[in-house]
Amino acid sequence: MSAEPTVTCLTCKAVQIVTPDGRGFPPRIATRKLAKRCTAAGHACQPVYRAGFVVAAPARGQA
């Protein structure tokens, strides 16, 4: 099971997935994109960054 890091607006629950694109700190870029969407919807953005996680079974022989 895995999930990407995301930025979520607490007001409207909109989600922006954080993806690296080589132009800076990815969560900040995702926050700006989300803020643009929220402003277009007519409310102030309240962003919250949530780090991604990966859960995997241990390799064979490692427990």
Phi, psi of 49 (to 5 degrees): -90, 130
Evaluated on CA atoms 53, 59, 62, 63, the torsion sign reads positive
* Residue 47 resides in a domain: yes
Domain count along the chain: 1
**What pLDDT does residue 57 have?**
74
What residue numbers bound the domain in which 11 lies? 2-52
Tens of pLDDT, residues 1-59 = 447 899 999 999 999 999 887 777 888 999 999 999 999 999 999 999 998 776 777 77
Residue 3 belongs to what H/E stretch? Answer: strand 2-3
**What pLDDT does residue 63 have?**
58
* Residue 61 resides in a domain: no
* Residue 7 resides in a domain: yes
**What pLDDT does residue 62 have?**
64
| CA 34 to the chain's CA centroid | 10
**What pLDDT does residue 1 have?**
40
